[in-house]
Structure 1
């Protein structure tokens, strides 16, 4: 990474903090704009045709959503005849567009397929923090949130079924997880905990794929991975899918509990069913790794850090320990 990229990473983090600590729309908007103008040079760090396309997609989507957001804020300040509910609906829609939640999701997988794993990791984790906090602070109608939740979990699960590109698959997985986070947007502690656990798991998977230079599912069969690496990657995948007893199940469990208490049973059932579909396409990726003959390629030998693999395993198997501590 070029030295200048670190300046933009610091600016990107500071701009998110500006949005999180703001108490008015103008400063929130300013933080989002600085964030956008910091992330675009990071995308263009290695200039090629794909990264230029990704930067243009990101710029157009974020500019359009910011424009809608500011127009609605100005209308609400000038007290025009437009109804309050309509203004809130448009503001929420503009923030959902920034997040890449369904039905404004089409740009996320397309952009993911054109950028590197580390940039994709930033897009799927850090870039979602400020808009999620904004949605959490808006007292909006539950209808648009519920519709976006249902669309996100359905599209995020069905969209990943037929994907051979792992970056697109992770993009659809991100949309699915976003649906779970939006569903509990009123409970700050709950979605923040979900976001942190999801971000850590996402970082570990993206780092592993980046180190091994894996971009497509058919590459999994030709990687020279030992059994420890295969088992660790499988555990990470199953944890991302929310399978017990891995740590990825804990936030989903708490969301289900919260939604049952709120009497949102139908949405909860849809979310759980779609979670099973995401598990299916994660297991399909693992099948390439375990069920096919591994071709040994001399120039593709990877000496992966054993300590890192141990940390991954310990983190993902920590849910039974948490449960045991609670029982004590």
Structure 2
């Protein structure tokens, strides 16, 4: 990955800013961590100067600034009232954090800036940028706005990706869908961290493969000169992202279902599972396009094809769930 020297500095401050938020014991310090995070990510977006990245940076700055202003205003009200518990204030804090995350119904900016950024920046936005706001939300009281956001995120994340030709927008809607699942188990710190770790690993591997082949649209997938091994690897990765057993992507959804069943949230979990099937459909649409359409590669040339480390690592990660289950039996 070719990066300027200054980019490594911003990557470092991006990591430090999240650590500041995670290690803080008051709202002001958390807010400072979020602001530093925003100011570190914007230069990374405009690493290569062009119209798209500049537009993405502007949209990101405006959205994050509005949510930050809302957050600090509510925090000041809390301090002014000498920490008197006010549910409306906590609801507004939750809304400001949902805007930062790009959760529905405050989601419109996320797929838009995803389509204007490089894959490497998309990986950071879909993974690392979620940690601090989710951590802050797990320390707040659950309000009705969170439950509404879970339903909206899971629904919009699944339906929004159906009609997309851009892979980056599709991954953006997929991220919104997975965010809904993470919010559903947000009260349990251990569960959402495990979910985010597994999701981050899957998303990073998939986006790295897209980045290697410079794939940005669905119609490019069928014309890629990929080996059969890489095709199978990408196919397995897509199924894993959709949460299909026995792949590793099923494990976090399994944990979520189990946790919600223990809390008797039967109707919500049924809705989430149905929406998960829709996401699986648009993942499969990408893969069917690759398998059933014309392929420019010569089939016989791939018999003695050397498996790339990324492809091998991807397959091992996605097929690790049966191995984990076997190990747990002993």
TM-score (norm 1): 0.96
Tell me how far apart the structure 1 counterparts of residues 119 and 311 of structure 2 sit (CA, whole Å): 19
Tell me the equivalent position of 1:33: 35
**Aligned residues between the structures:** 323
Please state whether the residue corresponding to 1:213 is helix, strand or coil: coil
Tell me the equivalent position of 2:14: 12
Once the two structures are superposed, the pairs formed by residues 115-126 of structure 1 within 5 Å of their partners are 115-126=117-128
Please say if residues 226 and 297 of structure 2, whose CA atoms lie closer than 8 Å, have aligned partners that are also in contact: no
> 1:218-271 CA deviation, whole Å, 9 max, x = no partner?
001110011000000001110000000000000100100000000111110011
Instruction: Give the drift of 1:82.
Output: 9.6
> 1:263-299 CA deviation, whole Å, 9 max, x = no partner?
11111001100000000000000011101111249xx
Long gaps (5+) in structure 2: none
Tell me the equivalent position of 1:242: 243
Which of residues 322, 325, 328 is equivalent to 2:324? 322
Please state whether the residue corresponding to 2:295 is helix, strand or coil: coil
Tell me how far apart the structure 2 counterparts of residues 296 and 53 of structure 1 sit (CA, whole Å): 37
Tell me the equivalent position of 1:201: 202
Tell me the equivalent position of 2:289: 288
Instruction: Give the drift of 1:308.
Output: 2.0
Instruction: Give the drift of 1:309.
Output: 1.4
Tell me how far apart the structure 1 counterparts of residues 11 and 82 of structure 2 sit (CA, whole Å): 39
Instruction: Give the drift of 1:81.
Output: 12
Please state whether the residue corresponding to 2:39 is helix, strand or coil: helix
Please state whether the residue corresponding to 1:222 is helix, strand or coil: coil
Once the two structures are superposed, the pairs formed by residues 134-145 of structure 1 within 5 Å of their partners are 134-141=136-143, 143-145=144-146
Instruction: Give the drift of 1:146.
Output: 1.1
Tell me how far apart the structure 2 counterparts of residues 81 and 286 of structure 1 sit (CA, whole Å): 53
Instruction: Give the drift of 1:314.
Output: 1.1
Tell me the equivalent position of 1:163: 164
Tell me the equivalent position of 1:260: 261
Please say if residues 27 and 75 of structure 2, whose CA atoms lie closer than 8 Å, have aligned partners that are also in contact: yes
Instruction: Give the drift of 1:144.
Output: 1.5
Runs (4 or more) in structure 1 with deviation over 2 Å come to 80-83
Tell me how far apart the structure 1 counterparts of residues 82 and 52 of structure 2 sit (CA, whole Å): 43
Once the two structures are superposed, the pairs formed by residues 43-62 of structure 1 within 5 Å of their partners are 43-62=45-64
Tell me how far apart the structure 2 counterparts of residues 44 and 278 of structure 1 sit (CA, whole Å): 31
Give RMSD over aligned pairs: 1.7
> 1:150-183 CA deviation, whole Å, 9 max, x = no partner?
1000000000000000000000000000000000
Long gaps (5+) in structure 1: none
Tell me how far apart the structure 2 counterparts of residues 155 and 98 of structure 1 sit (CA, whole Å): 17
TM-score (norm 2): 0.95
